[in-house]
Amino acid sequence: MEESMQQALATHIHVEVAIGRRTFEQVVRGAVDVWGREVDDHDLFVRTAEEIAGRAFADHLAAQAAWPEVTESDRLSMAMIDLAMAGILSRESYTDCLNCGTTEIGGELAKLPGMRGYTFYHHQDAQAAAGGGGVMLAYGATGDGDAATIGAEIVAACRRRGLEAEWDGDARQRVHVPVDWRRRRFGPLAGHPGAPTPPGGPAVPVTFCDYTSISGDDPVDMSVQECRDLMLWLTPHDGNFACYRGRSGPTLQFMWEAGMRLWAETPDLAARCSRGRHVTVDEALELVTLHVRDGGIAPEDLGEARTVPW
């Protein structure tokens, strides 16, 4: 393989690993999709991509161990979730380009009559952010709404989360959010050949499903940090869920509903019911932290919950 191609391949893979939304297999397959037809020895190319990806994953996981509990990438996700809950459909690393994203989010909005607007950044934006360029948030209003009003809400949401959003008030311009990109990998997103055994500490078995990305059908033990990361990674989309089993108490589970509301509950198998309530992203993170640290939460930890018969 030519040195120039190997360097381009390594750069591509390191950026994809940094973005943090694709598994090892998806990162390698993505590289093959880009260059696979241009190489003479396809098997050699695949082996080289796997070797580069393996080193990139190992380096990324070693680096993230020293990151703060909440990174600027986390703050961006929290702002996006805040916006979704406020009626502005939000998506991260959404489709490949601006035109595709605008078209696809229009299709989603057609099924969500309660949304006032939308915002997203696409995969090329994520690549730029991983390279130090920050993200560019596209946005718009639904119906007769005012796009500039949506833009102002996006700026305010980012700033409430400690991010310095930049925008001149022109609805024709996207919102620029400078971000020190640090996106953790966890569970199946951290797995790679030769991955070390996770460090000890409190952990619970977790299953989840993100219909827009990947699912974790088989329980995977996750630490407090990983469980928090999963909550921020999960796309606000009807039916997406995360289920955190308890070591010594009931299961804690979350599900996104069509109205961009996040439902939290603890099921009671014996009584054939659940106790739960709608929560904010901050409340969800607090519950997850308590659940993993203590091995399970009590129903009263949910606060003013209601009982839902099965």
Q: What is the tens place of the pLDDT at every residue in 250-283?
A: 899 999 998 899 999 999 989 999 999 999 999 9
Q: Tokens 């991509």 sit at which residue? A: 49
Phi, psi of 51 (to 5 degrees): -65, -45
**Mean pLDDT of the region 214-221:** 86
**Mean pLDDT of the region 104-119:** 95
pLDDT score of 248 more than 90: no
Compare 211 and 235 and report the one with higher pLDDT.
235
Sorted by sequence, the CB contacts under 8 Å of residue 70 that are 6+ apart come out as none
**Is there a contact between 151 and 175 (Cβ–Cβ < 8 Å)?**
yes
Q: What is the pLDDT of residues 165-202, one digit of tens each?
A: 999 999 999 999 999 999 999 999 999 998 877 777 88
pLDDT score of 20: 95
pLDDT score of 215: 81
Q: Provide, rounded to the nearest whole percent, the portion of the chain with pLDDT above 90.
A: 81
Cα–Cα dist 310/295, whole Å = 25
N-terminal to C-terminal alpha carbon distance within the chain: 59
How buried is residue 143: exposed, middle or buried, by Cβ count under 10 Å (0-12/13-18/19+)? Answer: exposed
pLDDT score of 299: 63
Other C-beta atoms within 10 Å of 164: how many? 13
Cα–Cα dist 123/96, whole Å = 5
pLDDT score of 242 more than 90: yes
